[in-house]
Structure formats: C-alpha cells, structure tokens
Amino acid sequence: MPAPRSRLARQRIRAAWWMLAPMLIVLLGVAGWPLARTIWLGFTEAGLADVEAPRFIGLTNYVYLLQDPDWWRAVRNTAVFAGASVALETALGLIIALSLNAHFRGRGALRAAILVPWAIPTVVSAQMWRWMFNDVFGVINHVLLAVHAIDTPIAWTASPDTALLSIILVDVWKTTPFMALLLLAGLQMLPQECFESARVDGVHPLKVFFRITLPLLKPALTVAIIFRVLDALRVFDLVYVISGNNRDTMSMSVYARQQLVDFQDVGYGSAAATLVFAIIALFTVIYLSASRAGREL
Amino acid sequence: MRSPRAPRPHRPVRRRAARGAGAGWRAVPLALGLLLSFAGGAAQAADLSISCGALGQELRLCQDAVDAWSRKTGHRVQVVSTPNSATERLALYQQILAARSSDIDIMQIDVVWPGTLAPHLVDLSQYIGPGTTATHFKSLIDNDTVDGALVAMPWFTDAGVLFYRKDLLEKYNEPVPKTWTELTRIARRIQNAERAAGHARMQGFVFQAKGYEGLTCNALEWIDSFGGGTLVDDHGAITVDNPRAAAALDLAASWIGDIAPEGVLNYDEEQSRGVFQSSNAVFMRNWPYAWALANAEDSPIRGQVGVTALPAGGTDGHPSGVLGGWQLAVSKYSAHPALAADLVRHLTAASEQKRRAVIGAYNPTIPALYRDPEVLDAVPFFGQLYTSFEHAVARPSRITGSKYNRVSAAFYNTVHDILARRQPAEPQLRALAQRRLQRLSRDGQW
C-alpha cells in the first residue's frame, strides 16, 4: 500500500499530465487513429474504390492470409533478410567501431565520412545499386570480370539465386555505419580501468575483447541489434526499388502494399499490415521484458 | 506535384458556381454550353492540372501542347508529374480519386483502366460529339465506353513490335525473322559471332520479363502468336491451360541465358531499351515509342534500326501484338469539367496527334493519320504495320473488370517462375488455371 500522496505531489502529477497532453493528442491522431483504423479494416472486406461502408467479415481475411503461400514466402524472405543483414551489420559495425575507437589523426573526418551511405535516401541508393548490379552495363560485373573473379556476368537482381543476396548486401552497405556509430558510442563509455589492468597483466588482445569488451558492451549491443531487427522486419523501400513485386524477394510490407494498392483490397491488405505490426510488436515486447530482466539481475 | 497549400483565392466560390452551371448545361445543346463556359471563364482565368507522361520526351511533348492551349484560352494549366511505372500511377490515381480530391483534373490512363476507374470519371460525350469520336479507331472508343458513358478519349495507341538491327542482319546476310524459331536461330548466330569478334556484351534478344504488367503483355504476345488464346476468353472462360500456350512459354524459357541475358528477368521497357540502344542487342521487343529515341541525334544506333511485326509462333501461328496505349480522362471531382474536356479535345485532336507522331513516334488513334505523308515520312513503319495496330490483341481487362490486376499478377508471377527457374510450362499453367484463376473468377463469373 503506497503512502497517501501530499497535495503538492498530486498537483505536480496533474501539471505533468497537462504538459504531456498536447503530445499525447498528436500521437493519438497521427499514430493511434491510423493504427486502429487499419486493424479495424483488417476485419472487413473494404476496397479502395468503396472505403465508405466496409462490411465486417470477422477473421476471414486472416484465414486466407495464413493459407496464402505467397504470404509465407514473404515472411521467409523477411526473416532471411533481417537475420542475415543484422548479423553482418553487427559484425562489420563492431569491427569499424573498434578501429574508430583507437586514437589516430583524422579520426573525426573519418567518422563523418563513414556516415555517407547512411545519409543518402534509401530510394536513391537503391536505384544507384540497381544500376551498379545491372548485368549488361553494371560496374560490379565489369570489375569482377576484369579481375577474372567470374567468367560470365551475373544477373544480380534478376536471378532467383542472388536477388535476395544483393538486397542484403545493399542494406549492409547502407546500415553498417549506423551500427558502427551506435557501438562506438557504447565503446567510449566503457570504464578504462579494466583495460588498463588487463594491459598491465599482459592479457592477449583477443582475450581482452571476448572477456572484457564484449560483456561490457552488451547493453549497447542489445539496443543496437533490436533497433535494427525492428527496422529490418518492416523493410519496404529497398526491396521495392530493386526488384518490385518479385516473389523471390518480396518482404511482408511489399506483400501488404501489393494487396492494398495494386489489388485495391484494403481489407485483406490491412490484415497483412496488421500482422506485420503484430510481429514487430512481439519483438518489441520480447526486448522490453529481456532488458527489464537484465536490469533486475 | 501541386502543393496543396498553394494559395488559390475564391476557389470554393468558383467551384460551386461551376458545379451549378454544369448541371444546367446538360439540358442545353453542346455548343451553347461550351460558349457559356468560355464566357464564364473569360472573366477569371481558371487553373487546371493534368497528368501526362512522367519524363523525357513524353513530358515535353505534353507540356508544349498544353502551353499552346493555355496561350489560346488564357487558362493556366499545371503539368503534374506522376510515377513512370503504370502500376504506381494507377495506385496514385486511385488514392486521389477515392479521396474525391480535385488535385488532378485530367488524367492520362492506360488502356486497361477504364473499367476500374469509370465510377470516378466524367462522361465526355456531353462535351465531345459523335462527329469527333467517329474519326478514332472504333475498338478504342469501345474500350473507353463503360456502360454507355465515354469515360476517356484515346490519345495514342500502342502495340508490341519487334525492333531489329538492320546493319547486323545485313552483315550476316539474315532475313527479318517471321517466326519465333527463326528469331531464336538468327539471334543466337549473330550474338555468338559478335561475341567471338570481341563484342563481349552482345545479346541476341531483349524484352520485358520483370514481374510486372509488361511481362503480362510480352507473354500474351508469345501465347497468342502460337494460337494459345489470351488467358481468359471473351465469355470469361479460363483458356490459358493449353498445349500451345505451354509450347510458347517453353520456347521463351529457353531464351534465358541463351539469346537473352538472365538480367532480362528484371528488365522493364527502359532497361531493355538501354541495352538495345547502347548497341548491345540484335532484337528488342518494345512499344513504338522506342523508335524516335533509337533514332535520336545522340543514339549510337541511329539509322540502323528496323521495326516489324512480332514473329508468328510456328508455321500455323500468326504475328501478334498486345494492345497498349493511353487515354485522357477527366475526373468527376474536377472544379472545371467543361474546360478540362476542352483541353482533352485539343490534345486528342488530329493536329496534335500528328505533331506527336512526327516528333515522338506516338501512334495516332485516328486511322486517317496513318496515310498522312508527313507522318509516314517521319515514321515509315506506321503504314506497313497499320494492320498490327488496328488488330492488336487486347488484354482480358474488360471481362475480368476490377479483378484484372490480380489476374495479371497471377499470370506474370507464373510466367516469371517458368522463365527464371526454367520449369516446364505445362504443370505451371495448369496450376495457374485450376487454382489461382479459378478461385479469382468464381467459376467464370468474374
């Protein structure tokens, strides 16, 4: 039983709510309302031409959705994309962060330069990579042919074997800097005493990394990874620009867009969008409970 | 895109006036109505917005024509740029129209869209009389008439055609191919000989096989040229599961990695033109617009390009080309429907279509222009391919109505699988017909 609050405390709480109210109202308007509407439309058979009076059809959309092999293909593509790209970005980002953490001349300029891929709008960089991946005039095939790494040009974005791989590579190129910066911030907050005593004791650098750096960096690493996973699960622009509605690479968001926009099936598309939202929400809940458990330990 | 915040004084007042007047005009004769609209508009110039083309020459041609109309009438017209991809343009239009927005007065719509967009479009027959429509191809006017309402005016027509390199065919002493088998042989021979001679990037044949509407067009041409029908017949029966269709797709699948680069599986029109126009392909399937660009000042293959009908499938097949082309329609939510209709009349008139044909090789929708000496001088193949354009094969969009996009997506996904994984076509087509299309069609009812 909490102690009864003083008048002052109650006043302060009321004032806090008043301060928060504008932001909460805006959030309800721009996030809550569209979300609620999408969830509601997922239970109807609304079409783009007749959004006026959609008919409630219960779970029918979800039944169809879970039976659609294209949906499951999109789920698999998204899972592969998220898993592979986040793993690569974390590994590369950690290496870059460790190098940038060392003291050398021009470090500031290098840190700024490394952010360039992250700063380019995704649609622009995706289009740029699409040209570079072109099988006839693309520069990537040109270079690989020139160094005799391949004999015939590879149709990177067209072949079912390499299409998803090339999308993952572009994402790694684009997002590794973001990962590196987050981890660098984490590295710079680590207490230096452990490293100094390890140096005095002459511990092997690899052992220092696995026994000291990594465990200390774990909170920052977890935050960075969960951020990236949430981002990767809703990937849309990169996939759509590079290979459109191709089923070999289609992500969950691309699937939802095709139903909503190309097929004008607002009801079914909303159901798909709701499921994407639910999956991402699930990951967020797992993260939040994991981090709470971590703090209590 | 026009900014929604652009100040437009007195607009609500004018809109109400225009709507009220519009209702009254239906009773008075057409000529009088137009006279009134000009009398009303003369006091204050109106703003119109039109979406036509997205980039390059197409956009420039439209801008010029619109400017000419603006100078003549004193009304300001803004050319709104819309996505180049047809699928995305349709999606944008649908969002604008579903919101009953007046942001775009005149829309350039694809030949397969009138059925989908009709509820949002003005019946142009109030403004454009039968005397004018009778000069256009009847098939197009029929296509643009939905439930008795003329919802769009044909602007330019299109049919898939075969582009070839005259110089290369001459060099190897080969004829212009009449069948797909012949094309396959010639393309392979020239491609391999040119590669051996040091032109490593040479490709035999490029077309559009990305998973999108363009693949539906390409694949329907292959199937139809083999006598395999057009996916769904005029009565709504699903016809795609037949041995001729399977033979056509098996042949097409054999091209990938042989005479066509594997990258063709992600090519749209412009990517295939990029390869052909940079002198890296012997044959290309494309729409006639590529003619003017391939012969432009800065084109490496200027003067070396020939155009012919697409080959026939086998000895008992026939040449085929899918009907494409674009129409101009006026939105029901436009504040100035009469003015917009007048601009549509100006843009679709014979004089403007002739200008577009001469400069941009856009196919007129008026048969008389195919005998015009100036047009034939600029685009010689128009006369020779007149019958291809007149008898182009329509996609099954009228019978499948609002489900057309889904039918098309199911079809191009299946074809893409057949081409990309070199699977035998027959079981794939059976699965397409019996599972996906049957479910979509509700047993042929659509």
For A107-144, the pLDDT digits (tens) are 888 888 888 898 899 999 999 999 899 888 889 999 99
Q: What is the pLDDT of residues B392-442, one digit of tens each?
A: 888 988 778 778 888 999 999 999 999 998 889 999 999 999 888 888 887
Residue in chain A lying closest to B275 (CA): A136
Q: Is the pLDDT of residue B23 over 60?
A: no
Write down which residue in B333, B348, B383 finishes a domain: B383
The domain total for chain B is 2
Which two tokens mark A17?
Answer: 């709510």
Interface of A with B in 256-295 (CB under 8 A): 258, 261-264
| pLDDT of res. B277 | 94
Write down which residue in B354, B383, B412 finishes a domain: B383
Of the ranges A25-39, B51-65, B119-133, which one carries the lowest mean pLDDT score? Answer: B51-65
> How far is the alpha carbon of B354 from chain A, nearest alpha carbon, in Å?
34
Chain B contacts of A264, Cβ < 8 Å? 94, 116, 402, 405
Confirm whether A227 is domain-assigned.
yes
Which two tokens mark B249?
Answer: 């797709």
Find tokens 């996030």 and name the residue.
A31
Which among B272, B273, B263 is positioned nearest to B420, based on CA atoms? Answer: B263
| pLDDT of res. B88 | 79
Tell me, yes or no, whether B70 and B134 share the same domain: yes
State mean pLDDT over B371-384: 89
pLDDT band of residue B444 (cuts 50, 70, 90) is low
Contact B416 A247 (CB under 8 A): yes
Domain that holds residue A170: 71-296
Tell me, yes or no, whether B362 and B275 share the same domain: no
Confirm whether B446 is domain-assigned.
no
Confirm whether B6 is domain-assigned.
no
SS3 B288: coil
Write down which residue in B365, B383, B401 finishes a domain: B383
Q: Which residue has the higher pLDDT, B389 or B252?
A: B252
Find tokens 């620009």 and name the residue.
A241
- B325's enclosing H/E stretch is strand B323-330
| pLDDT of res. A3 | 60
Amino acid identity for residue B185 in this structure: R
Cβ proximity of A57 and B102 under 8 Å: no
Which two tokens mark B421?
Answer: 């994984």
* Neighbour-count burial for B186-204, b at 16+ CB within 10 Å, e otherwise: bbbebbeebeeeeeebbbb
Three-class DSSP labels, chain A: CCCCCCHHHHHHHHHHHHHHHHHHHHHHHHHHHHHHHHHHHCCECCCCCCCCCCCECCCHHHHHHHHCHHHHHHHHHHHHHHHHHHHHHHHHHHHHHHHHHCCCCCHHHHHHHHCHHHHCCHHHHHHHHHHHCCCCCCHHHHHHHHCCCCCCCCCCCCCCCCHHHHHHHHHHHHHHHHHHHHHHHHHHCCCHHHHHHHHHHCCCHHHHHHHHHHHHHHHHHHHHHHHHHHHHHCCCHHHHHHHCCCCCCCCHHHHHHHHHHHCCCHHHHHHHHHHHHHHHHHHHHHHHHHHHHHHHC
Which two tokens mark B322?
Answer: 């899918």
Which two tokens mark A254?
Answer: 């691309």
Which among B391, B393, B369 is positioned nearest to B155, based on CA atoms? Answer: B369
CB-based contact, A33 to chain B, within 8 Å: no
Confirm whether B192 is domain-assigned.
yes
Paired residues of B286 in beta bridges: B161
For the whole model, what pTM was predicted?
A: 0.80
Phi, psi of A137 (to 5 degrees): -115, 10
Chain B contacts of A47, Cβ < 8 Å? 402
Domain that holds residue B61: 11-151+324-383
- Interface size A-B, in CB pairs within 8 Å, comes to 87
Which among B425, B427, B446 is positioned nearest to B435, based on CA atoms? Answer: B427
CA-to-CA dists, residue A30 to A36, A281, B444, angstroms: 11, 18, 43
Tell me, yes or no, whether B292 and B305 share the same domain: yes
Q: Which of B266, B270, B331 would best serve as a mutation to test chain A binding (most A beta carbons within 10 A)?
A: B266
Task: Please calculate the CA angle A187-A192-A197 and round it to the nearest 5 degrees.
Answer: 130
Chain A contacts of B265, Cβ < 8 Å? 155, 158-159
Q: What is the pLDDT of residues A216-231, one digit of tens each?
A: 898 888 888 988 999 9
Confirm whether A174 is domain-assigned.
yes
State mean pLDDT over B351-378: 92
Cβ proximity of B400 and A263 under 8 Å: no
Kindly give the interhelix angle for B56-73 and B350-360, rounded to the nearest 10 degrees. Answer: 150
- Complex ipTM above 0.85? no
Confirm whether A20 is domain-assigned.
no
Cα B194 to its chain centre, rounded Å, is: 33
Distance (Å, whole) CA A216 – CA A213: 5
Confirm whether B251 is domain-assigned.
yes
Distance (Å, whole) CA B193 – CA B196: 5
Phi, psi of B203 (to 5 degrees): -120, 150
Distance (Å, whole) CA B278 – CA B362: 22
Which two tokens mark B24?
Answer: 């009254």
Distance (Å, whole) CA A31 – CA A280: 15
Contact A157 B266 (CB under 8 A): yes
Contact B409 A248 (CB under 8 A): no
Which two tokens mark B261?
Answer: 């680069």
Tell me, yes or no, whether B52 and B179 share the same domain: no
Tell me, yes or no, whether B118 and B40 share the same domain: yes
State mean pLDDT over A269-281: 94
Q: Is the pLDDT of residue B309 over 70?
A: yes
SS3 B149: strand
> Which CATH number is A134's domain given?
1.10.3720.10
Tell me, yes or no, whether B182 and B282 share the same domain: yes
Residue A235: which residues within 8 A CB-CB, separation 6 or more?
Answer: A78, A81, A82, A171, A251, A253
DSSP structural state of residue B369 = G
> Which CATH number is B276's domain given?
3.40.190.10
Residue B69: which residues within 8 A CB-CB, separation 6 or more?
Answer: B75, B77, B343, B346, B347
SS3 B383: helix
Q: Is the pLDDT of residue B270 over 50?
A: yes
| pLDDT of res. A50 | 65
Confirm whether B270 is domain-assigned.
yes
Chain A contacts of B211, Cβ < 8 Å? 243-247
Strand order in the sheet with B161-165: B203-206, B281-286, B161-165, B305-308
The domain total for chain A is 1
> How far is the alpha carbon of A96 from chain B, nearest alpha carbon, in Å?
34
DSSP character string of B404-418 = HHHHHHHHHHHHHHH
Find tokens 């010639």 and name the residue.
B186
Tell me, yes or no, whether B59 and B132 share the same domain: yes
Q: What is the pLDDT of residues A137-165, one digit of tens each?
A: 889 999 998 998 888 888 898 888 899 99
Cβ proximity of A245 and A262 under 8 Å: yes
Q: Is the pLDDT of residue A52 over 80?
A: no
Q: What is the pLDDT of residues B26-73, one digit of tens each?
A: 444 444 444 444 444 444 677 899 998 777 788 899 999 999 999 999
Confirm whether A12 is domain-assigned.
no
Residue B16: which residues within 8 A CB-CB, separation 6 or more?
Answer: none
Tell me, yes or no, whether B345 and B425 share the same domain: no
> How far is the alpha carbon of B32 from chain A, nearest alpha carbon, in Å?
35
Cβ proximity of B110 and B212 under 8 Å: no
Confirm whether B89 is domain-assigned.
yes
Task: Please calculate the CA angle B173-B179-B180 and round it to the nearest 5 degrees.
Answer: 100
CB burial of residue B121 (10 Å; 0-12, 13-18, 19+): buried
Of A48, A49, A247, the CB nearest to B211: A247
Cβ proximity of B306 and B164 under 8 Å: yes
DSSP structural state of residue B35 = H
